[in-house]
Amino acid sequence: MEMSLKRRETMHRLCAKGLEIFNEKGYYNTSLDDILTELNLSKGAFYHHFKSKEDYFISIVQNLMVQKVYALLVEPLDTFENPLPIIVESLENALEPGRQNEMAYGFMLNDFLTEFHKRNEEISRYLKDIINVWEVNLVSVLKKGKVDGHIARHVDCEGVATYIIASFMGMRTLMMDSSNRQLKYQYIQQLKQYFKSLETERVLA
């Protein structure tokens, strides 16, 4: 039990540092020697934990990125209230520059999807799986919002989920090298207006 816990702690530390390295330099611009230097590991110690650089990155996706994206964009959707304001809040938080470091800034998901597109099908699949989990949960909470009377019955929940994901990823790209609060503010305000059009009309007594 103790060894298992120690191994998990070691893996988390290695994955967290690796995410910083790959975020800063990009996967293909980072050599194994760069990784070993940054982690202060020998080749033997590295290969004790990972089969390859690719296996290392997949471990980062599975052990860290999934958790981070889930905590920001999926976990908040577990609600009995009107989901629309909660979705807006989760997107607003996900676009907020990190308080401790830039790792919180969208979690680099879009950056890595772009980098691996047509270059590594396996890693692309792991990254797209994160998007798919988010999409499934969005559709589910939107459908529940319709049943609960918060969202109009004519709304296409799958289409709305696609729009939410596409708009967020687009904003993530626009804000890649900037913490432009005006840009973020405009996006969130327009999103709120769009969501208002999805709500069930309330008939005043």
φ and ψ at residue 155, rounded to 5 degrees: -65, 135
- Print pLDDT tens along the chain (205 aa): 445 777 778 888 899 899 989 988 899 999 999 999 999 999 999 999 999 999 999 999 988 888 888 888 999 999 889 999 999 999 988 887 654 444 554 567 888 998 999 999 999 999 999 999 999 999 999 999 999 999 999 999 999 999 999 999 988 888 776 667 888 899 999 999 999 999 987 543 3
pLDDT of residue 177: 64
Find out whether 67 and 107 touch, Cβ atoms under 8 Å.
no
| CB-based contact 161:148 (threshold 8 Å) | no
Distance CA 201, CA 205 (A): 13
**CA 84 to CA 41: how far, in whole Å?**
46
pLDDT of residue 91: 92
What residue segments make up the domains of the chain, in order of their start?
A: 52-196
Name the residue with tokens 């059009």.
197
52-196: CATH, from 1.10.357.10, 3.40.50.1110, 3.40.50.620, 1.50.10.20: 1.10.357.10
CA distances from 32 to 54, 154, 159 (A): 10, 53, 42
* Whole-structure pTM value: 0.84
